[in-house]
Structure 1
Amino acid sequence: MNSQSTNNLFQQPLNVLGLGLQSFSDNLATAGGEVLHLQWQPVAEGDEHANWTLATLLEHEQIRAANEVALERYLAAQPVLVGVSVAHQEIPALSGQRRILHAGPPIKWADMCGPVQGAIAGAIVFEGWAADVASAMAMAARGDVALEPCHHYQAVGPMAGIISPSMPVWVVENRAHGNRAFCNFNEGLGKVLRFGANSDDVLARLRWMGDVLAPTLAEALRQTGEIELKPLIAQALHMGDECHNRNAAASGLFFKRVAVALASQPKGCEVLAFIAANDHFFLNLSMAACKVMLDAAHGVPHSTMVTVMARNGVNFGIRLSGAGDQWFQAPANPVNGLFFPGYGVDDAAADLGDSAITETAGIGGFAMAASPAIVKFVGGTPADAIGHSMAMQQITLAQHPAFTLPALNFAGSATCIDARKVVDRNILPVINTGIAHKQAGVGQIGAGITTAPLACFVEALGVIANGLKE
């Protein structure tokens, strides 16, 4: 190139495609250039083995066929609320021995975060196995009570996720395949067991829920008949909910469905007042519906579809349809969000709860475009909410035909996470969630946005790859 050509080159407008570090593009833009920056980083953080594993799975015919089966089972599922029961009557493992279920993947008592330990201690006192919280803590530390994940027994629970034998549970059945799922009842906000609170007033509320709320609702459901939950969730998405951290519309729709039947009950007005005061009441039904739909898709050999995402306040765990009941875990990410006055990041427990089952099913954080008001609770802007929903389309197998989002021209919400796409595209599943104080008994201190850790998906794909070799 001669000197004249060189001079002409440097006199042309600077148009640059930036790749990699944002700061490189920022410097060029400051110098007057027009820069299109592409967010890119090495797949699987540059892990050579993980990259090779991914390359062998991306176009694999057995995986494609398996994912089609899992997706079809999930989409065909029809979650129906069939009744209210007591945990030990529906989950045999809770009958005849001291066992308590908790949120997230398996974890030992000594390794649990404060809110989960506090909630377990409260449940022990609630069951009458110990006279006070201190004795309950000692009992759990000795191993006198078995502690296992809710997911091991077709159950889910928000935040600490505690289900003990005497607690009432929702019973949701998938009419298409016959499987059932269970979830505890929502206590409302403030100092509640799911955030680790275990004071006398917390336990008194739990007893009222078992003695009054549950039997009154059970009788009302006998009058109303079964309630189909998929259409109710779909309608709530059109009314501004995303059915994880915003359930105002869904709770209102449920209230409307049962109000007349409840009004005829001796304690009906008391129950109606409790439901009306709790915009999160439907959350636990949303979780059970998502659980029963995803369980229908679990167990398809070689499928890379994610059927569980759950957190215990220490670790984040996932399960894949094609990897049996194996958990893949990594440290739970912190939550980036809004804190109540007087609290901050240093006060917060790590990501916690089974409620990410909603995102796993394609609602919650995946459906935030339907719920612009949610950003007032978890942070960000309405544009961010839409951006999250659009980004999730890149890591899923399909758009849900029933769960449609008005803000996206009624496109279906991204559903059925493909672990391969998560790793290949470096896009992590987004979750909106409450934030618990790291100490037991304080309760909720905020809400925000977090993501699943990449390491879970990398490890899971290794197991799928090994299974294809057998």
Structure 2
Amino acid sequence: MTLGGLLSAPPAIVAAGVDVFSDALRAQGADVHDVDWRPPGFGDPADLAALALDPRRNAANRVAVERIMSAGSQLVDVRPAREVIGLQDRTLLHSGPPLTWETASGPMRGALIGACLFEGWATDVEDAERILAAGEITLDPCHHHRTVGPMAGVTSPSMWMWCLKDPVHGGQAFCNLNEGLGKVLRMGAFNDEVQTRLAWMRDVLGPVLQKAVRGSIDAGNDPLDVKSVLAQMLQMGDEGHNRNRAGSLMTLRELSPSIVAVEGVPSSDIAAVLAFIGGNEHFFLNLGMPTAKLALDAARGIPGSSMLTVMSRNGTEFGIQTAGTGDRWFTGPANTPVGLFLGDYGPDDANPDIGDSAIMETYGIGGFAMAAAPAIVRFVGGTVPDALATTERMYQVTLAENPAMAIPIMGFRGSPTGIDVLKVARTGWLPQINTGMAGRVAGTGQVGAGLVQPPQVCFEQALVALAEETRTA
């Protein structure tokens, strides 16, 4: 039909969804045909009913959300992992649910190899592979130690950690320091460039940041309010996961006076630290992640709650945890992100989804707050309308709106917060995550960035477990 033919007669309209649209058209005399369509849900009806009718659920979810909303985040120290979390020799932390060397993906293997070389446990790559394959290195998830790590998330005893405290609930959370972009350990690279940077971060960056943070607090200043920085970022075009420009600059502004005042350190080292932070647009990410971890840990262990407290991936599996089932993991095969690639890289070069950084979406920002950062689509793909629609859709699978994390373009509406397993199952809409992409082959580094969703099977398992817990309560 030609465009002229289409407009030659009154339109016949088919509508699905809420009645407001249909009613408005009918009021204008339009011919409207309503279709009772909705996204396909999943789950056993008996399990859905058990969870929906659990008399504890509404109150439990209300408590969980209140704990998330009230949690704070203060930067109180910078210390090596061996000190702050008691990380033992020949032990490495990694992102996502538990894994073994045999099940580790390329970038995870690359990061584990790089950490063994960095710590001096291996003399070369082959030696590192040998001790890892022999089980001489203990592997454990970051989340088991109140810790989060982006991408591979590998943390070794000599790495310096941000130490954050929740002044409301008293919790603590930790994260290593961000290396920047490109060929970095967290993306699975482990060459001389990576090793040189890690050594500088151990010998210069970490000690300077420790002296700066401690010096500021000792001088009577309040600890850096990281949650406040995170809230301001959303007003300035960041979404807190793949776009951290404003947050990194604000952090540099807050820390610079204390860094400059550090005594007993060569001026060249001070200049190098300031230049490194100023040139690293993702520097804040490793502060934002433990901020989200603090809030979500405050909501752990609430019987009857169907809210997520963890979404995380290790490059092989995706895992989730809920407030009502404690530390139990529900896992499935990690999906591969779809997005934009660097240089000549393409889809065949990308590894499946990896990293603890989905804690940002679990908290209600990152991919959930893409409307706050429409420029993010130039990094992860899609369009500006896609970014707005994604945030709108995530309101349908969450329990509340976080007023502290307001989104300007949506009339300062709070970000969608508190992912509800029941709502995900009923709607069939899975959480949206935006993420970096690591190369499938160990040693490659970053190959792009894109969008990804958890495997549905994680939520199917969580639904079953929550329903069982309901029946036995």
Instruction: Give the structure-1-normalised TM-score.
Output: 0.91
Where 1:298 maps in the other structure, the secondary structure is: coil
- Describe the superposition over 1:383-407 as per-residue Cα deviations: whole angstroms up to 9, x where unpaired: 1111111111111110001000001
Where 2:357 maps in the other structure, the secondary structure is: coil
Aligned to 1:3: none
Verify: 1:236 aligned to 2:228, yes or no.
no
Verify: 1:82 aligned to 2:92, yes or no.
no
Distance of 1:333 and 1:164 partners within structure 2? 27
Aligned to 2:22: none
**Structure 2 segments unaligned to the other structure (5+ residues):** 1-8, 18-30, 218-222
Aligned to 2:362: 360
Once the two structures are TM-superposed, the CA of residue 223 in structure 1 deviates from its matched residue by: 2.8
- Describe the superposition over 1:211-232 as per-residue Cα deviations: whole angstroms up to 9, x where unpaired: 1001101111123331111111
The one-letter amino acid paired with 1:340 is L
Distance 1:253-1:465 versus aligned 2 partners, 3 A rule: same
Aligned to 1:29: none
Distance 1:467-1:412 versus aligned 2 partners, 3 A rule: same
Verify: 1:63 aligned to 2:65, yes or no.
no
Of 141, 166, 169, 2:161 maps to 169
**Structure 1 segments unaligned to the other structure (5+ residues):** 1-10, 20-32
Distance of 1:71 and 1:356 partners within structure 2? 18
- Describe the superposition over 1:349-397 as per-residue Cα deviations: whole angstroms up to 9, x where unpaired: 0011000000000110111111011111011111111111111111111
Of 248, 253, 258, 2:245 maps to 248
Distance of 1:363 and 1:462 partners within structure 2? 27
Distance 1:188-1:36 versus aligned 2 partners, 3 A rule: farther
Aligned to 1:30: none
Distance 1:451-1:37 versus aligned 2 partners, 3 A rule: farther
Distance of 1:202 and 1:451 partners within structure 2? 30
Aligned to 1:151: 143
Distance of 1:224 and 1:410 partners within structure 2? 33
Distance of 1:206 and 1:161 partners within structure 2? 14
Of 14, 20, 38, 1:40 maps to 38
Of 188, 192, 197, 2:180 maps to 188
- Describe the superposition over 1:47-80 as per-residue Cα deviations: whole angstroms up to 9, x where unpaired: 5xx2321122124221111111111111111111
The one-letter amino acid paired with 1:114 is G
Where 1:397 maps in the other structure, the secondary structure is: strand
The one-letter amino acid paired with 1:317 is G
Where 1:170 maps in the other structure, the secondary structure is: strand
Distance of 2:77 and 2:390 partners within structure 1? 35
- Describe the superposition over 1:61-101 as per-residue Cα deviations: whole angstroms up to 9, x where unpaired: 21111111111111111111111001011112x13x42100
Distance of 2:36 and 2:196 partners within structure 1? 55
The one-letter amino acid paired with 1:169 is M
Distance of 1:347 and 1:36 partners within structure 2? 45
The one-letter amino acid paired with 1:149 is P
- Describe the superposition over 1:189-243 as per-residue Cα deviations: whole angstroms up to 9, x where unpaired: 1111001111122111111101100110111112333111111111111000001
Aligned to 1:445: 447
Distance of 1:117 and 1:442 partners within structure 2? 11
Where 2:335 maps in the other structure, the secondary structure is: coil
Q: Note if contact 1:392-1:414 (Cα within 8 Å) is conserved in structure 2.
A: yes
Root-mean-square deviation (CA, aligned residues, Å) is 1.7
The one-letter amino acid paired with 2:415 is S
Aligned to 1:8: none
The one-letter amino acid paired with 2:303 is P
Once the two structures are TM-superposed, the CA of residue 148 in structure 1 deviates from its matched residue by: 1.0
Equivalent positions of 1:85-164 (< 5 A) are 85-92=79-86, 94-95=87-88, 97-164=89-156
Once the two structures are TM-superposed, the CA of residue 347 in structure 1 deviates from its matched residue by: 0.9
Question: What percent of counterpart residues are identical?
Answer: 49
Equivalent positions of 1:388-467 (< 5 A) are 388-467=390-469
Where 1:82 maps in the other structure, the secondary structure is: strand
The one-letter amino acid paired with 1:284 is N
- Describe the superposition over 1:286-310 as per-residue Cα deviations: whole angstroms up to 9, x where unpaired: 0011011110111111211100000
Once the two structures are TM-superposed, the CA of residue 461 in structure 1 deviates from its matched residue by: 1.5
